[in-house]
Amino acid sequence: MTDRPGVPASQLSDEELERQGVHAHAMRHWVFLHGTAEQFRTHTERMLELEQEYLRRHPQRTWQGSGGAALAPSRDDRIRDLVQTFSRAVTTLLDEEPAPAPHRERADPEQAQAALLRRFAEAPGGRLHKLEAHQIARQLAPDSHLVARLYRQDPPLLQADRDMRVLTDAGRAWLERHPVPA
C-alpha cells in the first residue's frame, strides 16, 4: 500500500489507519529532531487526526477505553482534551521569546563554510554532537551539498566519530586561510 496522507483518516480502511498510525509514531522522533517547524506542525496534525480516528473506531484497544465501553471517552471529553492540548501549545508559544525573522538570502558558500567550521573550532576539542552540528549547519548553510563536501573532500575538513562530528587538522588549516569576517 502507498502512503495516502491527503486522505482523511475517517476514509481509511482499518488496516491503512493502523499502518499510517504506526508509521507516524515511528517518524515522530526524526521529525522532532530534524524537521522544519512546518513539517513538525503538519506531522502533529496528521498524527492527532489518525489517533482520534483510531480511538473513535477502537476505544477498547487503547488505555482510554481499557475499562470497557462505559469508560470510553465521550465526544465532549475528546473535544475538551483536544482544546486543552491546543491551549497548552498556544500558551507555550506565547511564553517563548520571539525568534528573529530568518535571513532568506543565500549565504556565500565560502562564508557559510567558514562560519560552520568556526563553530566547530570554538567547541571543546573541535567536536559537536551530530544533532547539534546538523542544526548549526542548517542555520548557516541551507545547501546540504555544501556541508557534505566538508566530509568528502580530500583531505576532509570534518569527520564523523560515532555520534560526534570533528574538525580535522585540514579543517583547522582551511579556517586559518579563510577567517570568518567580523
pLDDT in tens, 155-179: 999 999 988 999 999 999 999 998 7
User: Residue 174 has which C-alpha cell?
Assistant: 582551511
105 band by pLDDT with thresholds 50, 70 and 90: low
* Contact yes or no for 93/86 (Cβ under 8 A): no
The angle at the Cα of 64, spanning 61 to 68, to the nearest 5 degrees, equals 70
- pLDDT for residue 89: 77
Question: What pTM value is reported for the model?
Answer: 0.49
* Numbered ranges of CATH 1.10.10.10 in the chain: 109-177
For the chain, give the mean pLDDT.
81
109-177 folds as Arc Repressor Mutant, subunit A (1.10.10)
